[in-house]
Structure 1
Amino acid sequence: MEEINDLINFSIINIDKPAGPTSFSITEFVRRELKLKKASHMGTLDPKVTGVLPITLGRACRLAQFLISHDKTYVGILHTHKEQDIKELQKIIDKDFTGEITQTPPHKSAVKRAPRKRTVYYFNLLETSDSKDFLFETKVEGGTYIRKICSDLGEKIGGAHMDELRRTEAGEFSEETAIKLPEFEKAIKDPELLKSYLVPAEDIIKKVLPVIETKDLNLKSLLTGKPLLKNEMKDFKKIKEDSFFALFQKKKFIGIYKKVKHKDIFAKPEFVYN
């Protein structure tokens, strides 16, 4: 039981959010059921939006900043107020709403409503049955508002809005591995089943940050938050200044460090797992 508790306190669970509840209420439900002091989701979904909602658990919450800005993929329904030719509409989207775009967050957003740059990798119209409702798939940089893309498009074509939306991918997490709330509730009573749903935080960190593996540094001093010195890290000069990396020693996750500009110090810890 101690092993599962350690895992719970430093892991991520990928919930398939249903329509209706807020992302916050889902996160709070998971936190209470797992008897944790802290849990946080990695990117808000509006109440009506469904899909991938990764939730960091326990000490893994401190890693959310390194994970939350990663790319997201969605499928949804775009409703246009007038009939549109799908090929012509796609041309407008490709021209004005892909690549780097400028967005002002919607009025309901919790963030400051200042224009900001975001990248839309693609926004593909897949099919339409009536020339008004268009099934689409889009991949965007984290923090991009899909609803705003749809309404901004509407200003160019006589009106449009987003009717439905589902997040299918968020960084390293996809809907294929997302679990529905009834499955989660069942797993609460079954430690082995729950264990199969928990993703160790260090497994995700390995995928999103450069990894440095060392063998002979003083483990005790590392776990107290000691910075890494240049004379200890001669073999790792390729890490760029001001960038983050994950440090492992003999496969044990030590923490996340930021390379700094300093005469003697190679990197300072941002998070130490001790």
Structure 2
Amino acid sequence: MARRRAARGRDVSGVVALDKPKGMSSSAAVQDAKRLFRARKVGHTGSLDPLATGVLPLCFGAATRFSQFLLDSDKRYVAEVRLGVSTDSGDADGSVLVERPVGRLARRAVERALGSFRGEIEQVPSMFSAIKHHGQPLYKLARQGVEVERKARPITVYSNEIVAFEGDRLTLDVHCSKGTYVRCIVHELGEMLGCGAHVTDLRRTMAGPFGEDDLVTFDALRKADAEHRLDALLQPVSSTVRQWPAVTLTDHTAYYLRQGQPVIVPHAPTAGWVRLCEASARWQSSDADGENGQNGERRDEGTSGSGRFLGVGEILDDGRVAPRRLIPDRS
């Protein structure tokens, strides 16, 4: 019988809200961070194009159990747009398709056109995207000159506002649901205006609960690594869902919840998702696994209590709290 290979890397858990640099792919950013932390398990929570910068949450260890909630979360972007030039990819990395005069384009006309891209809409993904067709990323097919039919996908654009507009330069702030391609919005906006447009710069300013104030650069990570304080830059596993209300459990209710049973918790919210925290004295008196959250079971300060972060739950119709995703108990 063949021996199982030992897992490589440290068992470290937590989240880094990386400020992804321009020119780097999201997968390359993950690999660089994994090497820096010498981590066993790490993944990102929604790709950013190489052209784009900004918020790219990286989940380590136990935090990967909750990465789907970040993948499903809303995003916010600031896009720098050039009017009058269309590219095949919808951004500055693509080849120019056509150039057209912008003319005396009024701000009011741009605002009116932007209104067509608000609310619940259907969007056809770009050929220059990571969506796969028969196992092949679309962008690889596009580079081979192959175009395939793509189905429109439902997205929600909560807002798209003009930040600045002068001549052929436009800056937009876009708040949208997951799966939204800002490049596609800009391309279609340009066609609606009759002059074409493409994204010259894109920055993600929000991904779920993480924003600009949470960002850590690779330079900061390298400096911290050299000073042997890298783990101090990890946010706790619970930060993946920190926008949700916290429910504090006693030892008794936590035990039954860990068995998969819904429990009654006084003063819990009446609906929705919640963070689950255990307020046991044994966790109050120690810091679970230390400040670096080796098991992701560090002390968690919530909106309605404190204690060890257990995972996430959902409020049932009868008011009980049902476990939905938990950190394995290693106590």
Task: Name the TM tier (shorter chain).
Answer: 0.7 to 0.9
Question: Where does residue 140 of structure 1 map in the other structure?
Answer: 176
Change (3 A) 1:141 1:219: closer
Q: Cα distance, 1:31 vs. partner?
A: 0.9
Decide which structure has the larger Cα Rg and report it.
2
2:232 and 2:173 map into 1 onto residues whose CA distance is 30
Q: Cα distance, 1:146 vs. partner?
A: 0.3
Confirm or deny: 8 A CA contact 2:120 2:155 kept in the other structure.
yes
Question: Where does residue 153 of structure 1 map in the other structure?
Answer: 189
Give the length in aligned residue pairs.
257
Question: Where does residue 237 of structure 2 map in the other structure?
Answer: 201
Q: Any unmatched runs of 5+ in structure 2?
A: 1-8, 85-100, 133-149, 280-306
1:214 maps to which of 223, 238, 249: 249
Write out aligned runs for 1:241-252 (5 A): 244-250=273-279, 251-252=307-308
2:22 maps to which of 19, 24, 48: 19
2:274 and 2:214 map into 1 onto residues whose CA distance is 26
1:237 and 1:120 map into 2 onto residues whose CA distance is 31
1:238 and 1:177 map into 2 onto residues whose CA distance is 27
Change (3 A) 1:236 1:226: farther
1:106 paired to 2:126: yes
Confirm or deny: 8 A CA contact 2:62 2:327 kept in the other structure.
no
Residues 203-236 of structure 1 deviation map (CA, whole Å, 9 limit, x = unaligned): 34232x34321114265565xx41124xx41647
Change (3 A) 1:47 1:221: same
Secondary structure of 1:176's aligned partner: helix
Secondary structure of 2:131's aligned partner: coil
Change (3 A) 1:141 1:258: same
> Aligned partner of 2:222: which letter?
E
Q: Cα distance, 1:61 vs. partner?
A: 0.9
Question: Where does residue 267 of structure 1 map in the other structure?
Answer: 322
Q: Cα distance, 1:53 vs. partner?
A: 1.1
The worse-fitting range, judged by mean Cα deviation, of 83-92 and 19-28 is: 83-92
Secondary structure of 1:199's aligned partner: coil
1:186 paired to 2:223: yes
1:60 and 1:154 map into 2 onto residues whose CA distance is 40
Write out aligned runs for 1:6-85 (5 A): 9-81=12-84, 82-83=101-102, 84-85=105-106
1:87 maps to which of 105, 108, 129: 108
2:155 and 2:216 map into 1 onto residues whose CA distance is 29
2:176 and 2:162 map into 1 onto residues whose CA distance is 15
Runs of 4+ in 1 over 6 A off after TM superposition: none
1:255 paired to 2:290: no
Confirm or deny: 8 A CA contact 1:49 1:165 kept in the other structure.
yes
Confirm or deny: 8 A CA contact 2:249 2:265 kept in the other structure.
no
1:127 paired to 2:164: yes
Secondary structure of 2:215's aligned partner: coil
1:234 and 1:196 map into 2 onto residues whose CA distance is 33
Q: Cα distance, 1:139 vs. partner?
A: 1.4
Question: Where does residue 264 of structure 2 map in the other structure?
Answer: 233
Confirm or deny: 8 A CA contact 2:70 2:208 kept in the other structure.
yes
2:164 and 2:268 map into 1 onto residues whose CA distance is 50
Residues 98-154 of structure 1 deviation map (CA, whole Å, 9 limit, x = unaligned): 12221111112233643222121221122233x211122221122211001011112
Q: Cα distance, 1:237 vs. partner?
A: 7.4
Q: Any unmatched runs of 5+ in structure 1?
A: none
Change (3 A) 1:150 1:249: same
Change (3 A) 1:266 1:183: closer
1:269 and 1:76 map into 2 onto residues whose CA distance is 36
The worse-fitting range, judged by mean Cα deviation, of 80-89 and 16-25 is: 80-89
Q: Name the TM-score, length of structure 1 as normaliser.
A: 0.83
CA RMSD of aligned residues (A): 2.6
2:210 maps to which of 147, 154, 173: 173
